[in-house]
Structure formats: C-alpha cells, structure tokens
Homo-oligomer: A and B are copies of this chain.
Amino acid sequence: MDIQELEAFWWIAQTGSFNRAAERLFLTQPSVTARIQALEKDLGQTLFERKPRGVRLTDAGRALLPHAERVLQDIRKARQALRELEMASGGTLSVGSALTTSTYTLPRILSRFKGQYPSVDVSVRTGRSQQVQQLVLDDTVQLGLTHGPLSNPEILAVPLYNESIVLCVPPGHPLAGRSIVTAEDLAPEPFITADRHSGYWSLVEQFWAASGLSPRVTMELDSIEAAKRMVVARLGIGMLPASTVELELAKKELVSVPVEGAEYLVRETLLIHRKGKVWSGIANAFLETLAAEYGVEIPTGRLDD
C-alpha cells in the first residue's frame, strides 16, 4: 500500500473514471491503471468494477474509501504542521508576478497568505510574462505568477486558473444589447488595446487572424487599467481579460457581450518555478495557499521535478 496508490484510488472514486483521475494526477491512464493494479494485488481484492462507461466501487472499494481519505488527510495535516513550525521562524517569500496578476489576483492571495503566516515577509517583483520567467530562471524570485507560453524548458508550471478574454463596451453602446456579436460587427468600431507586447494581446490577435479581419485600433495604452478607463469613458470598445473588468461589469460601468468564435479565447495563469530547484518551506506554503484559493489539488510528488 502506497500513498500514491491511495491518491489514485481516491481520485478514481471521485471521478468514476481512470482517465479523469489520470488527468488530475498529471499522469497517463496506463500509469493510473498500474497503480490501481498494484493496490488491488497488495490488498488481494478488486476495488473497482470496470464498466464500459467508467468504473464503480466494489464493496471492498467502498470499505477502503474512508480509510484512504483519512490517510490522505493525515498526511496533509502532517505537512501543514511542519510547515507552520518552519514558518514560525520567519523568512521571506519572493514572487515575480505579471502586471495584471499583481493588480487583480495577487492582493487577495497575499492577504490570505499573510493571515496564515504573519511572520513571513513578502517581496513582489512585477514585469511582463517574459520578464517574470527570467526572474525565475535567475533565482531572483522563488516563484512566478504569469501566463503562457513558456519560453524555456528549465521552467515548469502548475496551472492555477483560466479566464476568458471578454468584449467590453460602454453601457448604451449599440452592441450592448446584442446577445452575440461577430468579428464583422466589431471591425468598424474604434478598438482600444493595451500594450501590444502584453501577453494577452497575442490571444486577441489570434481571434482577428481567424476572422480574416483587422480591428480599427484607435488607441493603444500601456496598461490594461488605462485601456479599461478609456472604454468606460466611451472612447471605444476593447477585449480584456475577465478578471480585470469584474468590478466594472458588476457596477454596470461596462457591459460584456459574447463574441462568436471567441469562446476559446482563454488566458491561463500559471505558477512557474525553476526545474530542479529544491522547494523551500515558504514556497511550499505559498503553493498550498494558492491551491486552496483555486481549488487545485497538487498530487503527492508533483513537484519533485
């Protein structure tokens, strides 16, 4: 019996599928099969009924499940106990962060982190995605929060969350009432962009390239925040990452409209780290905070890269 086997068992029990469990464990399905076969051989009992549309727990599996959960829970607690012991003696967390991330998501994360580990100092350096990656490679920061694509095989990433790029128009704008719009509808409109070197812009470019049209870019700002203000001031329309306009949408200062063909315009936010680097306790603690915030489960041994 092995923790990784129990972890695979638990995920399969949750998802009802070897394939989906493999996905959550960052493994291929044959590896998950192997783990379960090892566990079943060890226990001498079949744990799942294999069905064509997935699997179901056998009686033995049902008997094991609560015990497996306790073991996994205990291990999490053990890690947490040692982490708190370590954090109590202070130290510094240094993260690099993409500009958008540092404005819209990092504050929430860091406040949570400081709440849990008050004696740890935090240092943040911001920059574009590429710069953040360089900071990680240099060991200037322990971790980076940024977006794809990754430029160097020495950098490894854990995906944290995805957000859509949404079309934003001022309230009362002719497009504001539409249930869906097309690239043709957008092309004549004055289009406001943030810095074209910004990471998310390449996604917007992909959208326009796919449509065969070009936006009529009337203003180019050097930050998303500034671009957003321009749209609010009715100077044009823009396509912006969802997290940056959350507040304005809620306050009705902006209206978002679905765009045909832009459904898969998604920007992923990644936690990146340098391959082969030993994780400090502080880095682990921060990762744990992130995992809790975004509901990501990081499987045992995922970070031994």
**Could you tell me which A residues sit within 8 Å of B by CB distance?**
1-3, 41-45, 59-60, 63-64, 67-68, 70-71, 74-75, 77-79, 81-82, 85-86, 278-281, 284, 300, 304
Contacts and interface: CB of A to CB of B under 8 A. Distances in A.
B71 A41 contact: no
28 contacts: A1-B78, A1-B79, A2-B2, A2-B3, A41-B278, A42-B304, A43-B79, A44-B86, A44-B284, A45-B85, A45-B281, A59-B85, A60-B82, A60-B85, A63-B81, A63-B82, A63-B85, A64-B78, A67-B74, A67-B75, A67-B81, A68-B78, A70-B74, A71-B71, A71-B74, A71-B75, A71-B78, A74-B74
B1 A75 contact: yes
Contacts of A279: 44
Contacts of A68: 78
| Integer count of this chain's copies in the complex | 2
A44 B281 contact: yes
Give the top 6 A-B pairs by smallest Cβ distance, nearest first.
A67-B78, A44-B281, A71-B74, A70-B74, A63-B81, A63-B85
Interface core residue of A67, A279, A281 (most chain B CB under 10 Å) = A67
A67 B73 CA distance: 10
A1 B300 contact: yes
A121 to B, nearest CB: 18
A281 B81 CA distance: 36
Contacts of A2: 2-3
B43 A82 contact: yes
A64 B41 contact: no
Contacts of A281: 44-45
A59 B86 CA distance: 10
Contacts of A278: 41, 44
